[in-house]
Amino acid sequence: DAGVTQSPTHLIKTRGQQVTLRCSPKSGHDTVSWYQQALGQGPQFIFQYYEEEERQRGNFPDRFSGHQFPNYSSELNVNALLLGDSALYLCASSLEQGTVYGYTFGSGTRLTVV
Amino acid sequence: GNSVTQMEGPVTLSEEAFLTINCTYTATGYPSLFWYVQYPGEGLQLLLKATKADDKGSNKGFEATYRKETTSFHLEKGSVQVSDSAVYFCALRGRGSTLGRLYFGRGTQLTVWP
């Protein structure tokens, strides 16, 4: 049974560019959450998608946006990239917003902004 | 608001030594508490959890007890192995308007020498 799949695994972008990261949740999960993990820090919550809607949002600017598709997969988009956006981006999937059986994390996308 | 304060690392131990990683939290009500582990180049894996006061989570020789009185969830293991070398994150799951969102500590790097 495949877990959470994220693509790409690594990415290098230039300041000011836009990037799209993708996440396929674990089979049977309907909720996707995105986290940003800066080097040496704990993951910070970006937002959560459930039933194709953004249900919660952390303290991130509007440059960060997302989408959930009918098959529950999700995308994270970041516009006007800054050097400070360099981080590991983690996707976590769950059932019913994580209130039931917890979360499964992907291995992440390492984004480097130069 | 919700937050997690975690013992700063790095922690370096010899094999078979006793491990304690301290974690305290601030939250409204009684959150669920988690310990996650992150091996190099990988995402987060759930190590153990506790959902109410006095619950003890345990897995792979690791234990943590939910202490409401001291708002703590310290991680312990009686005899560490080289394979336990990783980064450990304490986390809580919010309630109410932040239901389903995880709040993480900064992580503690553990290195175990043979």
User: Quick one: pLDDT band at residue B41, thresholds 50, 70, 90?
Assistant: confident
Give the strand pairing for B56-59 and B62-65. Answer: antiparallel
* pLDDT at A98 (0 to 100): 62
- State the number of CA atoms in the 13 A half-sphere of B112 facing the CB: 16
pLDDT in tens, B22-36: 999 999 888 999 999
Does residue A53 belong to the interface with chain B, where contact is any CB pair within 8 Å? no
CA atoms of A63 and A69, how far apart (whole Å): 20
pLDDT in tens, A71-98: 999 999 999 999 999 999 999 999 876 6
Asked if A33's CB is within 8 angstroms of B43's CB, the reply is no
Tell me what percent of the residues of chain B surpass a pLDDT of 70. Answer: 100
Residue of A nearest to B33 (CA): A102
pLDDT in tens, A52-69: 999 999 999 999 999 999
Structure tokens at B2: 């919700």
Query: How many CB pairs (< 8 A) connect A and B?
Result: 62
CA atoms of B49 and B64, how far apart (whole Å): 8
**What average pLDDT does the segment B77-104 reach?**
91
Q: Which of A40, A42, A55 lies nearest to residue B89, judging by beta carbons?
A: A42
Asked if B43's CB is within 8 angstroms of A105's CB, the reply is yes
